[in-house]
Amino acid sequence: MTNVILTEKTNPNTVNIDISSSLKIAEMINNEDKIVAQKVSEKLHEIAKAIDIISDNFLKGGRLFYFGAGTSGRLGVLDASECPPTYNTPYDMVQGIIAGGDKALRYAVEGAEDSVELAKEDFERLNINENDTVIIISASGNANYGIEILNCAKEKKAKTISITCNPNAKISKHADIVICIETGPEAVTGSTRMKAGTMQKMVLNMLSTGAMVKIGKVYKNYMVDVKPTNIKLKDRAKRIVSEIALCKQNEAENILKTNGYKVKEAVIQIKYSKTFDEAQGLLSKYNGILRRVFEELD
> For the chain, what percentages of helix, strand and coil (3-state, to nearest 5) are there?
55, 10, 35
Decide if 224 contacts 267 (C-beta within 8 A). Answer: yes
Residue ranges in 5-43 assigned as alpha helix (H): 22-41
Phi-psi region of 273 (alpha: psi -120 to 50; beta: other; left: phi over 0): left
The total of other beta-carbon atoms located within 10 Å of residue 273's CB is 8
Phi, psi values for residue 133, rounded to 5°: -120, 130
Report the alpha-carbon distance of residue 150 to residue 158 in Å, rounded. Answer: 9
Q: Is 296 a catalytic residue?
A: no
Q: Which of 42, 46, 110, 113 does the annotation list as catalytic? A: 113
Q: Which of 27, 32, 42, 82 does the annotation list as catalytic? A: 82
Q: Is 82 a catalytic residue?
A: yes
**Minimal CA–CA distance to 200: which of 146, 131, 129?**
146
Q: Counting every residue, how long is the chain? A: 298
Dihedral angle of Cα 68, 71, 76, 78, to the nearest 10 degrees: 150
Contacts of 57 (CB under 8 A, 6+ apart): 63, 64, 131, 132, 133, 159
The catalytic residues are 82, 113
